[in-house]
């Protein structure tokens, strides 16, 4: 109730009047407890929504597609080498598939992240490991960088540099496959795995068991030959 005063002739008279609204503002009757409960619930829902968005964002990363690169090059006899490489830039992996003249395919995996090269020759029941060296990084990086621009490489026979490497198989250094990283486990899960080391050559008393030729976009072809070291 609001009391008003009005002037009537020469005197003031008191009368009751209203301002046209309710007696008290509804703001003062707003249930404060319900307001804070509602606000807390909204904040909790917002936090949960942000958490779920972050979880799904981490669990579903934007994976880059694998790229297949094909090489055309002649070997020393003039026969074409059938070779391709699958490039996984996200995981720093390059997997070569090299098919011999007898239509048998060997696999060579460059695991740059863990500085390892794994050879899986078709003619053997084993895989062979060795540590990457500086020249290996240069060769395989040429594949990683060039594959972003080209999917096929025509290597010139006259300009191609050919190298030969000998790897001695350490027969007493078998590796437990389960101790290897996932890409190597998947490649050699049904085989024994042995370490190798680079050597000057097997010498006349030792026999070279097999060779794998690998070519890179930098016009370098490497023939990697294996033999077993004495026990």
| Range scoring the smallest mean pLDDT among 2-16, 129-143, 186-200 | 2-16
Q: How far apart are CA 108 and CA 117, in angstroms?
A: 7
Query: What pLDDT is stored for residue 188 in this prediction?
Result: 92
The CA distances from residue 201 to 23, 126, 167, in Å, are 105, 21, 8
Task: Name the burial class of residue 209, with classes exposed (0-12), middle (13-18) and buried (19+) by CB atoms within 10 angstroms of its CB.
Answer: middle
pLDDT digits (tens, 9 = 90+) for 174-192: 888 888 888 899 999 888 9
pLDDT digits (tens, 9 = 90+) for 13-64: 545 555 544 444 444 444 566 666 676 777 777 777 676 665 555 544 455 6
What lies within 8 Å, CB to CB, of 79 at 6+ separation is 101
Residue 102 pLDDT grade (very low, low, confident, very high; cuts 50, 70, 90): confident
Rg (CA), the chain: 38
């Amino acid at each position: 109730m609001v009391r008003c005063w009005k002037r009537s002739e020469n005197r003031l008279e008191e009368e009751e009047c209203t301002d046209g609204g309710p007696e008290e503002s509804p703001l003062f009757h707003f249930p404060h407890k319900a307001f804070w409960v509602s606000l807390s619930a909204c904040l909790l829902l917002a936090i949960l929504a942000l958490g779920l968005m972050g979880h799904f964002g981490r669990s579903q990363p934007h994976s880059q597609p694998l790229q297949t690169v094909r090489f055309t090059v002649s070997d020393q006899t003039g026969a074409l080498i059938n070779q391709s490489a699958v490039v996984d830039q996200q995981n720093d992996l390059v997997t070569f598939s090299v098919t011999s003249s007898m239509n048998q395919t060997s696999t060579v995996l460059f695991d740059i992240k863990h500085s390892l090269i794994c050879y899986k020759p078709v003619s053997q029941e084993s895989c062979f490991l060795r540590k990457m060296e500086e020249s290996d990084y240069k060769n395989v990086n040429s594949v990683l960088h060039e594959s972003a621009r080209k999917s096929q490489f025509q290597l010139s026979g006259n300009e191609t540099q050919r190298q030969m490497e000998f790897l001695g198989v350490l027969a007493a250094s078998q590796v437990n496959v389960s101790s290897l990283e996932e890409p190597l486990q998947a490649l050699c899960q049904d085989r024994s795995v042995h370490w190798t080391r680079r050597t000057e050559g097997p010498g006349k008393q030792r026999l070279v068991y097999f060779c794998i030729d690998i070519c890179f976009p930098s016009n370098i072809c490497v023939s990697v030959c294996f033999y077993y070291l004495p026990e």
